[in-house]
């Protein structure tokens, strides 16, 4: 998947989740798949482009949800799983 397609997928999920990231970046990252800054910048690893769609969705939704819920508590996990029912990657959160 090209970088632009990943960026578009992030934008589609942002609409679904009703969040507005200040900036969406796709770049080389060596230690994690993505990150979300307190200022609302979401950054995704280029390596995510080569991963299965279900994994991409889990990473994208995870980071975008941090714009609404800053921690990894029960509400965060429940919300993630509600948006991605049946996604096997959400069980690893």
Q: What is residue 1's predicted lDDT score, i.e. its pLDDT?
A: 79
What distance in Å separates the CA atoms of residue 4 and residue 89, rounded to the nearest whole number?
23
Q: Is the pLDDT of residue 90 over 90?
A: no
How many other C-beta atoms lie within 10 A of the C-beta of residue 79? Answer: 15
Closest CA relative to residue 45, chosen from 24, 21, 17:
24
Q: What is residue 29's predicted lDDT score, i.e. its pLDDT?
A: 94
Rounded average pLDDT over 7-11: 97
Q: What is residue 93's predicted lDDT score, i.e. its pLDDT?
A: 61
Q: What is residue 92's predicted lDDT score, i.e. its pLDDT?
A: 74
Tell me the domains of the chain and their CATH numbers. Answer: 3-86 (3.30.2010.10)
Burial of 48 (0-12, 13-18, 19+ CB in 10 A): buried
What distance in Å separates the CA atoms of residue 4 and residue 73, rounded to the nearest whole number?
32
Give pLDDT tens digits for 75-86.
Answer: 999 999 999 999
Pairing of strands 23-27, 41-45: parallel
Give pLDDT tens digits for 23-75.
Answer: 999 999 999 999 999 999 999 999 999 999 999 999 999 999 999 999 999 99
Q: What does the DSSP assignment read for 1-53?
A: --HHHHHHHHHHHHHHHT---SEEEEE--SS-SEEE-TTSEEEEEGGGGGS-H
The predicted model scores a pTM of: 0.94
């Amino acid at each position: 998947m090209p970088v632009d397609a990943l960026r578009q997928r992030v934008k589609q999920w942002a609409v679904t989740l009703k969040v507005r990231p200040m900036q969406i970046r796709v770049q080389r990252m060596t230690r994690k798949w993505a990150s979300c800054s307190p200022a609302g910048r979401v950054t995704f690893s280029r390596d995510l482009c080569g991963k299965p769609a279900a994994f991409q969705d889990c990473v994208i939704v995870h980071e975008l949800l941090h714009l609404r819920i800053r921690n990894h508590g029960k509400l965060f996990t429940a919300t993630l799983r509600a948006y991605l029912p049946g996604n096997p990657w959400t069980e690893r959160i």
